[in-house]
Structure 1
Amino acid sequence: METARTSRPETFRTEIADGMRIEWDVPIVMDDGIVLRADVFRPIDNAPVPVILTYGPYAKGLPFQVGYPSAWEAMCRDHPDAVTNSTNKYQNWEVVDPEKWVPHGYACVRVDSRGTGRSPGYIDLFSARETRDYYDCIEWAGAQPWSNGRVGLNGISYYAMNQWHVASLNPPHLAAICPWEGAADFYRDGARQGGIRSTFWDNWYDMQVKTVQYGIGETGGRNPNTGQLICGDEQLTAQELAANRSDFGADLRAHRFADEFHAIRSAQWDRITIPVLSCGNWGGQGLHLRGNVEAFVRAASTRKWLEMHGHAHWPLFYTDYGVDLQMRFFDRYLKGANNGWEDRPAVQLQIRHVDATFEPRGEDAWPPPATEWTRRYLSSSLALSESVPVTGSVSYPALGDGVEFTTPPLDADVEVTGPLAAKLFVSSSTTDADLFLVVRVYSPSGSEIVFQGALDPHTPVAQGWLRASHRRLDPALSQPYRPYHPHDTTEPLEPGEVYELDIEILPTCLVIPAGYRIALQVRGSDYVYPGPSARLSNLKNDLTGCGPFLHNDDVDRPAGVFDGVTTVHIGEQYPSHLVLPVIPDARRGLRMA
């Protein structure tokens, strides 16, 4: 129910500044009468141009530098080209910088989503109501006299995730989308990896959404460009604020399975037919990886591209590399430019090396067609071997650090690029068990190779998860290299009985030098980097290897069910193994044109 006072669509403010015509707080009326607010940055001459649009909850008037200071400082330090050729006065978290797009002949529209920033209403994140709002905003932008009628969507994370949702509705003016590091399957990609609840969304809601809710007054600060209150001109009471937002954490706890709650917050693949550039992060294992790859494979569009990169979550989007990639794509589909975009490979990979450098390579499909699916078998001696070992088993406390299986030193360089999987034969002393799988790589000196992930600076090579009671597969959607679980019911274990578990391990990319070792760690809790932690100002928890994507809800993992002993069974009867996507030497020599 909408309990906020609905704002009036009064005249908005217009100014000419920094080579742009800027319209602050433009009203957009939704189909139910509520008025959302947008900032519009466009060329001064009023000529019709294509539109880059975003709709989300991070407050269009909150400067990137103010709201996310540690992220801003890291981007300026590590990627200085991200902030050059701009005054950076209009930078906003996870959306395009208009000073780089307007001179190139685009209008940039930023909409405060319902209930946040300067838009009144009830916050119900990723809901059907939000998606309908987004649809209405696209159609509004496409019909403006300064628009050429073609709208593109571009942005990071939240601004990527909701692109999939609204594209499923096929707004007539929507011409192309570029989701940059954003989940697409709300259950599997973010809420409950492998069926195990992530507490990320609870903490994120507190830190990044409630802090910019419409009606919090001076607490939300003022836009330095306009002097306006960032979160609206009304001051609502604590009771009114609480009544104007869902209890997102409680909603997530209440929906244990992949039900309608998650479906309406996920892409509908068969309905997405417009051009797509899906950009994912090798280090985005908690939220910013699986959705981009899965979307590329399953979207119905015949004009779709996948780009995979490394580095932190936000900076590459703003760099010369990121802006050039996005502009070439949108120039083709929003301007009709014959710029050779469609001659590019369908899959554009940044191949990662152990020194955190990258080399570009194109592929025709995902997974790369030349992939050699390679098994390594677990043994009771804690080795990963080429042949099936003798029968045995290994047990560990079910909530502990588990056990690790390791290859001998590699006798040649090996490239592992693509999705991974594991088949484990497991028994539990209780009626359930959570398995956390971590693929690790060690140098000859024994140091673990970790990378700057999407958020955590010490991200391991790959991770996967599965709740044993969610082991049932969907045969129509499963592949040997990418198991797919329906997550629609619980099938408790019989204590002591052995069960076959197929576990999805999210894609990775790494050229592993000779002399290094590959390991599979089977754990009962989240990976923890054995070194110093880190911190970002917009997150509650320290970053200890998994970033904010932790599975530490005691209610979801109650004592007596998940704190027993887990046993991995091994041998000819129980051939537990890891599946690695090995790229042959001949393919590794190629580079993207």
Structure 2
Amino acid sequence: MSPANAQQADKPKVPVIKDGQAQVVPAFEDTSKWIRHDLWVETNFDSDDDGKPDRVHVDVTRPAETEAGLKLPVIYETSPYYAGTVSGSDIFWGVRHELGEKPPKRLHPPKIDRRDTSPIISNTHIETWVPRGFVVVHSSSPGTGLSEGSPTVGGKNESLAPKAVIDWLNGRANGYKTVDGNEKVEAYWTTGNVGMTGTSYNGTLPLAAATTGVEGLKAIIPVAPNTSYYHYYRSNGLVRSPGGYLGEDIDVLYDFIHSGNQEHNAYSDSTIRDTEMANGMDRITGDYNDFWAGRDYLNQLEPLKAAVLMSHGFNDWNVMPEHSYRIYKAVKEQGVPAQIYYHQRGHGGPPPLEMMNRWFTRYLFDIENNVEDDPRAWIVRENDNSKEPTPYEDYPNPDAEPVTLHLTAGAPQQGGLTLKKTKGEGTESLIDNFSFSASDLAQAEWTDHRLMYVTPELREPVHISGTPSITIKLASSKQAANLSVMLVSLPWREGRDTKITDNIITRGWADPQNHESLRQSEPLEPGTFYTLTFDLQPDDQVIPPGQKIGLMIFSSDREYTLHPDPGTEITVDLDGTSLTLPVVGGEKAVSND
């Protein structure tokens, strides 16, 4: 044997763990030797009503050594996007109509030009994890790509499909070489330990799988996951679009992803989209109901036992930061191992590779690397690299205390936002006009289309950590009105890049008609004052000295809400309105005394 061959033979062909992380193994790096194949896993549901269990399309990428008896854990991603989505068609709902009115009918899209995903569904994650000693698996969601079934956008089959794949990886479900054949495929090359990850919809599905409590799913890392379709398409009773997708709703997303077998489209469209979704989504009132409750994973967490590392951006106005926090808080309270990583940018953004590696190494290789003793929260500070988060004991920061700020008059320019509550501030009014964006309203020196209340100039940095809330007492000139709130840092500054705006601290929306119940709205009596309290989006941000914190109250939000005719007048009782901020250091940190 030559020295070179001898040296090659000495290289390890098993996973190598160092400093609590799986290391790149040269033997696993040779892409030419990777074994790649696809199969179909049979589920226990029939969501396209063709009389037989749906089968989902799965691909596998694994090192050659798995053919020689080596068993490895699995990194698994599932998605409705792999085979393509709708493009070039305006399928969104029109938003230019009065509140409470039936919206104009929307267009349905042409058939998706489906990409061929056999035998390779996707190449995501393979270059990262296969060299480190993991098998990588992908699957297409029901009703997408070469998977059978119907897309349900949060329905039970979207949880049960990845469960079936994990069951197959553990020998509890059948895999087949073809979609309709009987030749079985076994996963003899895996330990059965599975970790899931993905971004956006692909980040939602790991959580969906985990809510089934399936054995073998050891850890999940959801990135910017949509954890409740109500919170994605509604806000406190208000019909509100995700940022960047004005007029999108759950049936639009159904059409966007439905790339599956065209033979079953008629059933899926009529039953799922045109009946279940049409009857449940309620685009007229925006009220919460059983349809939405069934698509909220917070209501399904009891069986979950997989360790959870959530990842999200505080400036994600598509899938907003509350989606990860609400799940993190709940699973932590259940005693499930949990950590959260937040950055200051927009949609997407996984944790640093080292953090993910420690997480998967701990729970998939069963290596005691003490990851469970790491700080619970990792926050990327404002000017830091996303790979260098600052560790904190928890999120929100345990040193944050609620600080209540009160309003003083000043419309149509700026009123005050003070620690001391005064009486007799009276009322101030704004006139709704969707023609102006929120950022334009925030920068206006003088306008009757918003109310603005600001703190004195900050002398020291103010660290906000947690979920702000507002209590507002208001009256409307009409029976229905949009209500929008934005917390800003003034004076307005240019953003560091095009993906974020430094000035927006957080924001929120609500329907005053739901002031008593999220499930039951009631028409407002014009001129009558109502009080409602609701949360804004969670945040962790340090506002620098020299800035002022501003509370902007307005009605229609051009980028997010419906666009009724301008002219609705909203009157705010300043004495009955207050803002509560979670501030590290409490009142002392915001006092200029």
Q: TM-score, normalised by structure 1?
A: 0.72
Q: Does the 8 Å contact 1:451/1:459 carry over to 2?
A: no
Q: Does the 8 Å contact 2:41/2:168 carry over to 1?
A: yes
In the alignment, residue 127 of structure 2 is paired with which amino acid? E
Of 361-370 and 34-43, the range deviating more from structure 2: 361-370
Q: Does the 8 Å contact 2:359/2:371 carry over to 1?
A: yes
Q: Does the 8 Å contact 1:311/1:452 carry over to 2?
A: no
Match of 1:185 among 228, 232, 242: 228
Q: Does the 8 Å contact 2:464/2:539 carry over to 1?
A: yes
1:220-369 aligned at under 5 Å gives the runs 242=269, 246-247=273-274, 250=278, 252-253=281-282, 256-267=286-297, 268-299=300-331, 300-314=334-348, 316-317=349-350, 322-353=352-383, 360-369=389-398
Residues of 2 paired with 1:570 and 1:457: CA distance?
A: 28
Q: Report the CA distance shift for 1:102/1:19 in structure 2 as closer, same or farther (over 3 A).
A: farther
Q: Does the 8 Å contact 1:347/1:365 carry over to 2?
A: yes
1:380 equivalent in structure 2: 409
1:523 equivalent in structure 2: 554
2:572 equivalent in structure 1: 568
- TM-superposition CA deviations, 1:486-507 (whole Å, max 9, x none): 6211133332222222121111
Match of 1:511 among 532, 542, 547: 542
What is the CA distance between 1:207 and its match in structure 2? 8.4
Residues of 2 paired with 1:148 and 1:492: CA distance?
A: 58
* 2:127 is equivalent to residue 99 of structure 1: yes
1:54 equivalent in structure 2: 77
Q: Does the 8 Å contact 2:402/2:580 carry over to 1?
A: yes
Match of 2:199 among 148, 151, 156: 156
2:427 equivalent in structure 1: 393
The CA RMSD over aligned residues, in Å, is 3.5
Q: Report the CA distance shift for 1:168/1:212 in structure 2 as closer, same or farther (over 3 A).
A: closer
Q: For 1:31, what is the secondary structure of its paired residue?
A: coil
Identity of aligned residues (%): 23
In the alignment, residue 202 of structure 2 is paired with which amino acid? Y
Residues of 1 paired with 2:573 and 2:387: CA distance?
A: 38
2:158 equivalent in structure 1: 130
Residues of 1 paired with 2:472 and 2:54: CA distance?
A: 53
Residues of 1 paired with 2:38 and 2:454: CA distance?
A: 58
In the alignment, residue 463 of structure 1 is paired with which amino acid? R
Q: Report the CA distance shift for 1:506/1:214 in structure 2 as closer, same or farther (over 3 A).
A: closer
- TM-superposition CA deviations, 1:564-591 (whole Å, max 9, x none): 21111113xx2x2211222239x99xxx
- TM-superposition CA deviations, 1:394-431 (whole Å, max 9, x none): 10124554221122221222222221111111111223
Q: Does the 8 Å contact 2:151/2:254 carry over to 1?
A: no
Q: TM-score, normalised by structure 2?
A: 0.72
Q: Does the 8 Å contact 1:285/1:463 carry over to 2?
A: no
- TM-superposition CA deviations, 1:228-260 (whole Å, max 9, x none): xxxxxx776986885696259745336843222
Match of 2:136 among 108, 115, 118: 108
What is the CA distance between 1:26 and its match in structure 2? 1.4
1:488 equivalent in structure 2: 519
2:62 equivalent in structure 1: 42
What is the CA distance between 1:137 and its match in structure 2? 1.6
2:466 equivalent in structure 1: 418
What is the CA distance between 1:343 and its match in structure 2? 2.0
Q: For 2:546, what is the secondary structure of its paired residue?
A: coil
Q: Does the 8 Å contact 1:416/1:582 carry over to 2?
A: yes
In the alignment, residue 54 of structure 1 is paired with which amino acid? E
In the alignment, residue 504 of structure 2 is paired with which amino acid? P
Residues of 1 paired with 2:121 and 2:540: CA distance?
A: 31
Match of 1:468 among 490, 504, 512: 512
* 2:259 is equivalent to residue 214 of structure 1: yes
Residues of 1 paired with 2:518 and 2:34: CA distance?
A: 50
* 2:592 is equivalent to residue 579 of structure 1: no
Residues of 2 paired with 1:384 and 1:326: CA distance?
A: 42
Q: Report the CA distance shift for 1:584/1:211 in structure 2 as closer, same or farther (over 3 A).
A: closer
- TM-superposition CA deviations, 1:69-102 (whole Å, max 9, x none): xxxxxxxxxxxxxxxxxxxxx895xx94211111
Larger Rg: 2
1:434-473 aligned at under 5 Å gives the runs 434-442=482-490, 446-448=491-493, 450=495, 460-472=504-516
Residues of 1 paired with 2:215 and 2:265: CA distance?
A: 40
- TM-superposition CA deviations, 1:253-307 (whole Å, max 9, x none): 3684322212221212333233111112111244241011111111224311111
Match of 1:551 among 543, 561, 574: 561
What is the CA distance between 1:171 and its match in structure 2? 0.7
In the alignment, residue 404 of structure 2 is paired with which amino acid? R
Residues of 2 paired with 1:495 and 1:213: CA distance?
A: 44
What is the CA distance between 1:208 and its match in structure 2? 7.2
Q: For 2:537, what is the secondary structure of its paired residue?
A: strand
What is the CA distance between 1:198 and its match in structure 2? 2.9
What is the CA distance between 1:350 and its match in structure 2? 1.7
2:25 equivalent in structure 1: none
1:222 equivalent in structure 2: none
What is the CA distance between 1:51 and its match in structure 2? 1.2
Residues of 2 paired with 1:19 and 1:359: CA distance?
A: 34
Q: Does the 8 Å contact 1:142/1:151 carry over to 2?
A: no
Residues of 2 paired with 1:288 and 1:336: CA distance?
A: 33
In the alignment, residue 578 of structure 2 is paired with which amino acid? H
Q: Does the 8 Å contact 2:41/2:55 carry over to 1?
A: yes
Q: Report the CA distance shift for 1:457/1:113 in structure 2 as closer, same or farther (over 3 A).
A: farther
Q: Report the CA distance shift for 1:459/1:294 in structure 2 as closer, same or farther (over 3 A).
A: farther
Match of 1:196 among 214, 223, 238: 238
In the alignment, residue 350 of structure 1 is paired with which amino acid? V
In the alignment, residue 49 of structure 1 is paired with which amino acid? L
- Runs of at least 5 residues in structure 1 that lack an aligned partner in the other structure: 1-15, 68-89, 216-233, 473-485, 528-545, 589-593
Q: For 2:291, what is the secondary structure of its paired residue?
A: helix
What is the CA distance between 1:367 and its match in structure 2? 2.2
Q: For 2:220, what is the secondary structure of its paired residue?
A: strand
Match of 1:370 among 399, 421, 435: 399
Residues of 2 paired with 1:470 and 1:415: CA distance?
A: 32
Residues of 1 paired with 2:249 and 2:288: CA distance?
A: 21
Residues of 2 paired with 1:96 and 1:393: CA distance?
A: 56
Q: Report the CA distance shift for 1:404/1:275 in structure 2 as closer, same or farther (over 3 A).
A: same
Q: Does the 8 Å contact 2:71/2:189 carry over to 1?
A: yes
Q: Does the 8 Å contact 1:163/1:177 carry over to 2?
A: yes
